[in-house]
Structure 1
């Protein structure tokens, strides 16, 4: 039934063809046959093998597998197997994380009780929840989990804990009745929700929606869906497609030109394929893995567990951080903020009266009384309880009568607390600031104004009254009437101590915090304004429902606070931000937060959260604090930028070299480099690239979100690739026309210049600042020095003949180093101009 809370009970029974006597066993069996059991649809899960295979679908991964097979075919076994091992390890890590996600729904379902008391054939029976059906009437009592979405038929002092669905801290009172169809989930007082539980009272309810159609079911359905690609994963795919297109075009042209020039078909084919290996950034999976592993290690030292490694780099590009209010922005527990008399002044006597009331009441344990008693520890053992008038859902009052001690002349004292309007009705007088007593009518208007003011400030407000009784009065016959209004009790879910600083720092880092809560708009506005959000930029759940995703993705950009939001709407908000082009993080700790956590680019939960929320998250905080997210954002940007550094180096150097070889192959009678020399060059230049993961990052690059910008990467690749290629042609000219180099001589000289210049320029393009103002890591410097020494050692060692290399005269060696040095100077000057005209695309 849709909008079942807007039906009165008789109409709902008629709609479901049921009655107040429930169903017969025959009717129930027929309905189970028609509608199915009260269980969630079990979709056929992908096998572990298929999940593992899905890790290899990325274009960049497919190119690398091809490159590895090609290397093995060319008998360069070491290079081929290294590539395959890197891909295998990277894919295995991804597979392990994805396979764990399959447990999320199972843990969610395990939180629901297994049996319920059902009215069948005229009497109540304990039946398995799976055997419940539409139109069944169930009986519920304190502690019961609700097995389906229901409409209340009878209610006796019934309160529920709906925090798992709505995020509300306070218990929810339930009563029978008919509500408007537009009523928000948290305000549907006549409804019980699957997955929530009863705190107090008892009642009967009509089952109107079975498992898969419940609010709870919507959450399980979204959790069972496969994760969509995050922004970082999309960037990797786009980059892979770019490399695939460039590689295909270059290889086709080179092969075609070599055939036209009557070069050997097989030789030309092998050369073209070797070029494809040279153009492919083979170390990209390893670079990403090393970067992410180091980032995860640093974050774990700060109490942050990274479950999904790619989420670290998504931190770097995050532009919007959405957060649940309760337990994330606030402490998630009720606190007595103040006890105020009629004039708004603090009253210790009022606080003491409240403590007496809470100490001696023997109804169900609730957060309100716990907050009052934990506020100040007073010894009430000298007092004696005489009688209690339990909390009533009709008048919303709770009274206790106690025998006082000397502080109140051993009088009998009746203290009543409850809803403000209810307290006002039973009061005849009020107590002034000086202890004087006056007629309540004199201050009624002022009291109501104070109540409205406190409520609008986000407080949960209760009233408190008292009166002294004669010893001759019978406490058991005493009623809550002719009371003296004592004052207001103001409760709040307090902010976390560091939240204001966190929001301020996030804004400086270019990340906008958005608050999403199921609480009412007044509380949401008050909390939002305290942490620096604009309370006027608010959107309510009932208004949000009228927007489609395409309409909402424009609206959300101008919203700071989302209030009175249902669980499925949280996910809708996250999707809208993503469609608007934002990179979104979401932090929550309840079952109701799991869908939003799952769909976000960066899903965050805490160690004390519901299992379902933790399973859906990619980041789990061991401390329930947003402060560590600040370092996570910076670490994400550092990791992302170091990954981009490798891409800048690899694509520009590789593109330049491939362009040079393509051109050289047209006018040389021999291949510029042999296939095995190309692979060796690739291997030598890739080794220092692995150390980029440890490199320092300029502070300027950490100030704003960074994201994939394919236009920037293309421009960088072309500009620096062309400069690299120009110096390659200078090298060709020097080797051929000055040193009269022949085949092996030429190949050795160019391979030396190619490797040295690639590593020198690595130091330059790793930063947008002048090289002497950005200190590279010691590991990177050491790797470059070691490779340079190794290369010279190979050239002048006996093994050079196996690689088609020869000893070079010292003057040739010096000339190659000189060309590399000049290339570095030109690249440094060009870099300055390039960054003046181009920058990373940022939000």
Structure 2
């Protein structure tokens, strides 16, 4: 009975990885501190694992890819209005105190052109700020005893508020011209008390230049295996122009295509009908002229569709088709906050780990849904609360640096997990087999406790280890973890029985001295395993271990050696026998490392790992 209790006690102490939660928590905490130094605050430690595995990054255009510093180009008045009137009404439809990046350049223009005094003659009695649904601002303005409405916003939306007396085709053509150059265009309109509709004043083109580091950062992100997709509320023409400049690609989709409100089939139908009608009316016309006519009709149809939202029943697209569109897209235009949620959801259903940026209250559901929700610099409190990562500085480079840091942290966690599982397998199998088969207790209970302290406490230094940034997104691959750790564990069992055989059968040592042999071998080989698992390559190649990890391992090995040489709590074995154990353990470490490299090659050949 006492033997069974003794056996149970030793196995229990050996089997429980007491340091596992502490090591993983410390590693993630150190990783979070490292990210904080790079201006990225982690709200949940476990989100570091998810960030390391992100393979699709959906990034807002404004403020992340661009500078979010608008500049006013040449205003274009219509209907006999002047540039001065246009800019005055644009300022009246804005609120300077809000420091809005779109409105700030308007007031800078007013100040630069000397219209500030004229602006003071008007009083804003009510202001309705911009929201993603209405896509415009509105203000009630009073001047003397006269009160009127002024609005600014998306050109198509503003045109929809105006009467039929304006030439919409001319205005939309101008908007299209600006968009192809990357300009966002605001429409400005005024409604007098006696009027039935708004009077269109003109167009205000604004340009938000790309950040200087965006193109190089996107290139770096792609080299890290990230699929960067641009998300913007601007129209397709602007999105394509910016995406091309940044090197993202020009495969930009209208977000309406994702909501089941696609117009593509209707455009194709319009092309077919226009071709047939043109041929019927002009039988002798050439194919080239017919094609040119059809192209003109399609262009008009596309412009018209930009101003309307099709009912969802028009086109029913299978979810797999929508997923395919999202995966192939380089970006999305005319995006509403709810579209961000849809994009994340569909990508996750396709097996992707998704990072999504956002800054507004309405972005919160998408940030919560994403595997790595990223609240950009200047985000609202609601967005920050929903996000896993809060950025303290603008730009895509902060996100890419955070992903690289997360991958480093993940590699540290993986190397420790491989080590811990391998050591647990080695100790449990060796001790069980020794007791059951040979009726020999290889180590005492006190030895097990000393081993746990010597092996686990210094391993906390793994949180500071040097490791390379993986060139691809990383995630837990249990087939890899269990294969490598089991192989190393079994090799450890064989090596342990080897030293057992040498000590007892060849050297004919007493049982307590044999136990001291095995104790030192387990102690020395234990930390050698962490140097094997920390890299897939030969353990002596770069990146080399961090000094803190290396010295922690060396000092604990020296301490274990002193225990057995001088007989502290164990039977003494002397320096010569200690040297034999050291040489034996080091030789097996080299063998283990060669087998590990071979095992990784085999796993790649069988496509178990990428």
Q: By the TM > 0.5 criterion, same fold?
A: yes
Does 1:301 find its partner at 2:66?
A: no
Work out which of the residue numbers 545, 548, 552 in structure 2 matches 1:776. Answer: 545
What's the counterpart of residue 576 of structure 2? 811
What's the counterpart of residue 335 of structure 1? 71
What's the counterpart of residue 694 of structure 1? 464
- Normalized per residue, the structure richer in helix is 2
Deviation per CA, 1:26-78: give whole Å up to 9, x if none: xxxxxxxxxxxxxxxxxxxxxxxxxxxxxxxxxxxxxxxxxxxxxxxxxxxxx
Work out which of the residue numbers 478, 492, 495 in structure 2 matches 1:724. Answer: 492
Deviation per CA, 1:531-563: give whole Å up to 9, x if none: 333333525235434567666555532233233
Note the residue ranges of structure 2 that are not aligned, 5 or more in a row. 125-136, 140-151, 261-315
Deviation per CA, 1:595-642: give whole Å up to 9, x if none: 111122222113521111111112111122221122211111111001
**CA–CA distance in structure 2, aligned partners of residues 842 and 353 of structure 1:** 66
User: The residue matched to 1:620 in structure 2 has which SS?
Assistant: strand
**CA–CA distance in structure 2, aligned partners of residues 762 and 602 of structure 1:** 30
Does 1:453 find its partner at 2:177?
A: yes
Greater radius of gyration (CA): 1
Instruction: State how 1:20-419 maps to structure 2 within 5 Å.
Output: 265-272=1-8, 274-332=10-68, 334-338=70-74, 354-355=83-84, 357-359=86-88, 363-365=92-94, 370-375=104-109, 377-380=111-114
1:789 CA displacement? 1.9
User: The residue matched to 1:603 in structure 2 has which SS?
Assistant: strand
1:579 CA displacement? 2.7
> Are residues 631 and 362 of structure 1, via their aligned partners in 2, closer, same or farther at CA, if it must alter by over 3 Å?
closer
Does 1:739 find its partner at 2:507?
A: yes
1:340 CA displacement? 7.5
**CA–CA distance in structure 1, aligned partners of residues 21 and 320 of structure 2:** 35
Does 1:635 find its partner at 2:405?
A: yes
> Are residues 684 and 550 of structure 1, via their aligned partners in 2, closer, same or farther at CA, if it must alter by over 3 Å?
farther
RMSD: 4.2
Output the TM-score relative to the length of structure 2.
0.73
**CA–CA distance in structure 2, aligned partners of residues 723 and 384 of structure 1:** 86
What's the counterpart of residue 495 of structure 1? 210
**CA–CA distance in structure 2, aligned partners of residues 517 and 809 of structure 1:** 73
Instruction: State how 1:526-675 maps to structure 2 within 5 Å.
Output: 526-538=241-253, 540-541=255-256, 543-545=258-260, 552-675=322-445
Aligned residue-pair number: 513
Deviation per CA, 1:459-516: give whole Å up to 9, x if none: 344699xxxxxxxxxxx9xx9xxxxx99974224443443222222211111111233
Judge conservation of contact 1:607–1:614 (CA < 8 Å) in 2. no
What's the counterpart of residue 792 of structure 1? 561
Note the residue ranges of structure 1 that are not aligned, 5 or more in a row. 1-264, 343-349, 391-395, 399-416, 428-443, 465-475, 480-484
User: The residue matched to 1:679 in structure 2 has which SS?
Assistant: helix
**CA–CA distance in structure 2, aligned partners of residues 381 and 734 of structure 1:** 96
User: The residue matched to 2:228 in structure 1 has which SS?
Assistant: strand
> Are residues 280 and 712 of structure 1, via their aligned partners in 2, closer, same or farther at CA, if it must alter by over 3 Å?
farther
1:328 CA displacement? 3.3
Judge conservation of contact 2:43–2:390 (CA < 8 Å) in 1. yes
1:289 CA displacement? 1.7
> Are residues 798 and 341 of structure 1, via their aligned partners in 2, closer, same or farther at CA, if it must alter by over 3 Å?
same
> Are residues 611 and 718 of structure 1, via their aligned partners in 2, closer, same or farther at CA, if it must alter by over 3 Å?
same
1:280 CA displacement? 3.8
**CA–CA distance in structure 2, aligned partners of residues 276 and 318 of structure 1:** 38
Instruction: State how 1:431-442 maps to structure 2 within 5 Å.
Output: none
What's the counterpart of residue 600 of structure 2? 835
Q: Which moved more, 1:717-726 or 1:567-576?
A: 567-576
User: The residue matched to 2:356 in structure 1 has which SS?
Assistant: strand
**CA–CA distance in structure 1, aligned partners of residues 116 and 533 of structure 2:** 78
**CA–CA distance in structure 1, aligned partners of residues 402 and 439 of structure 2:** 55
1:357 CA displacement? 4.3
Judge conservation of contact 1:500–1:532 (CA < 8 Å) in 2. yes
**CA–CA distance in structure 2, aligned partners of residues 768 and 643 of structure 1:** 14
1:589 CA displacement? 0.5
Deviation per CA, 1:324-374: give whole Å up to 9, x if none: 3344334456532445899xxxxxxx9x96356424888443677753442
Judge conservation of contact 2:56–2:226 (CA < 8 Å) in 1. yes
